[in-house]
Amino acid sequence: MGTYKLKKGNITLKNIIGIRFKKLGKIYFFNPKGLRVRKGDMVVVDTAQGEELAEVLIPNRYVEDEKIITPLKVVLRIATNKDIKRAEECKRIEKEAFKVCEEKIKEHGLKMTLTEVECKFDNSKILFYFIADNRIDFRDLVKDLAAIYKTRIELRQIGVRDEVKRIGGNGVCGRELCCCTFLSDFETVSIKMAKEQNISLNPSKISGNCGRLMCCLKYENEMYEEKLEKLPKVGAIVLTEDGEGEVDNVEILKERLRVKFKNEDGGYIYKKYDAKNVKIIKDIDKEQVNEEEVQNKKELEELEKLEQEDKKISNSES
């Protein structure tokens, strides 16, 4: 495992390890520089922000060169007792700084909620994460904190999803929240995704613990979009083996249609068909009005607005 590169035919393989900086953080690939590590080991790595302590999640393995975004940052060493003590000291500083910062926020009358403090391993700076409804002028707060800790101070506004990820909890499915187990990045979610998947448009049923649209709406959205391109909309006129009728319901995943036909009494009869056995005579340009969407219009619009605001915060961080 000491060799960084390895040839296998025409394929170049690189020896990498996967590490993470926080318990629920994203996994990053690093060059072990000849070190052999095991899952659970603590290592000191070189990052754009300086030296950092991290946990090994993926021990040494060879991966195809083209699957790696290069250049990889390097592992400096397996953590020593001194490194572990420094990490413990950082935790102590973070706990103390959290209380101090909260007091200063009250003193300055700032409308913000402190959520987390991060003391950098190399003592280069201390970061304070907070949530707020609007932009905050925290310049005086930064000056106060810098005077106390004699190091660089950064304040970063985060979204409510990040806050819930930190707190933890269970979703409506009964399982631990996705953001607390495997979800490392938050992608934009929209009401349109719920509509395309025929999910109830009741805000309480499509919102997560954070009060935003559930992240899981995104998971299968691409597949739904692909299938919807091939299927007629509700209200479309189609030709079946039993004649011409109107699409009354669409089972997207099964690609089955429920079609209604007028009978002699002026009522309707309903039959189901595989979409591949039905010919579209006339599709409709617009989706039919969803009664639930109309009833909850104001709340749904507010959810969309919050999504856009969160996106702005995310973009400003990057």
**Per-residue b/e over 188-224, b at no fewer than 16 CB within 10 Å?**
ebbbebbbbbeeebebeebbbbbebbbbbbbeebeeb
pLDDT band at 27 (very low <50, low <70, confident <90, very high): confident
15 and 6 in contact (C-beta within 8 Å)? yes
| pLDDT level of residue 9 (50, 70, 90 thresholds) | low
- pTM for the complete prediction? 0.63
Confidence of residue 5 (pLDDT cuts 50, 70, 90): low
> How much is the mean pLDDT over the chain?
87
Residue 304 has pLDDT above 90, yes or no: no
Question: What is the CB-side half-sphere exposure of residue 245 using CA atoms within 13 A?
Answer: 22
Query: What is the C-alpha end-to-end distance of the chain, expressed in Å?
Result: 35
7-25 average pLDDT score: 79
pLDDT at 318 over 70: no
Which pLDDT score is estimated for 313?
A: 65
Counting residues of the chain whose pLDDT is more than 90, the rounded percentage is 50
Tell me the average pLDDT across 13-35: 86
Q: What pLDDT is stored for residue 7 in this prediction?
A: 65
163 band by pLDDT with thresholds 50, 70 and 90: confident
Q: How far is CA 242 from the centre of its chain?
A: 47
pLDDT at 24 over 70: no
Q: Answer yes or no: are the C-beta atoms of 42 and 79 closer than 8 Å.
A: yes
pLDDT at 6: 64
Q: What is the pLDDT of residues 270-303, one digit of tens each?
A: 999 999 999 999 988 766 666 777 777 788 888 8
Closest CA to 188 of 286, 313, 70, 97: 313
User: What is the mean pLDDT of the segment spanning 157-181?
Assistant: 84
What distance in Å separates the CA atoms of residue 287 and residue 295, rounded to the nearest whole number? 16
What are 87-121's pLDDT values in tens digits?
Answer: 999 999 999 999 999 999 999 999 999 999 999 99
- Residue 234 contacts residue 249 (beta carbons within 8 Å): yes
**Tokens read off for 192:** 């349109």
Per residue in 217-271, pLDDT tens?
A: 999 999 999 999 889 999 999 999 999 999 999 999 999 999 999 988 888 999 9
Q: Does residue 162 surpass a pLDDT of 90? A: no
Q: How far apart are CA 96 and CA 285, in angstroms?
A: 60
Q: What pLDDT does 125 receive?
A: 93
Average pLDDT, integer, range 20-41: 87
User: Helix 139-149 vs helix 81-108: angle between axes, to the nearest 10 degrees?
Assistant: 140
CB 68 within 8 A of CB 29: yes
Question: What residue ranges define each of the domains in the chain, with the CATH number in brackets?
Answer: 5-79 (no CATH), 85-158 (3.30.300), 230-282 (2.30.30.30)
- Does pLDDT of 192 surpass 80? yes
Q: How far apart are alpha carbons 276 and 255 in whole angstroms?
A: 8
DSSP result, the chain? ---SEEEETTEEEEEEEEEESSTTPPPEEEB-TT----TT-EEEEEETTEEEEEEEEEEEEEEEGGGS-SSPPBEEEE--HHHHHHHHHHHHHHHHHHHHHHHHHHHHT---EEEEEEE-TTSSEEEEEEE-SS----HHHHHHHHHHH-SEEEEEE--HHHHHHHH--B-TTSSBPGGGTT--SPPP--HHHHHHTT----HHHHB-TTSSB-GGGGTTHHHHHHHHHHSPPTT-EEEETTEEEEEEEEETTTTEEEEEEE-TTS-EEEEEEEGGG-EEEE--SSPPPPHHHHHTHHHHHHHHHHHHHHHHHHHHH-
Q: How would residue 19 be classed by pLDDT, with cut points 50, 70 and 90?
A: very high
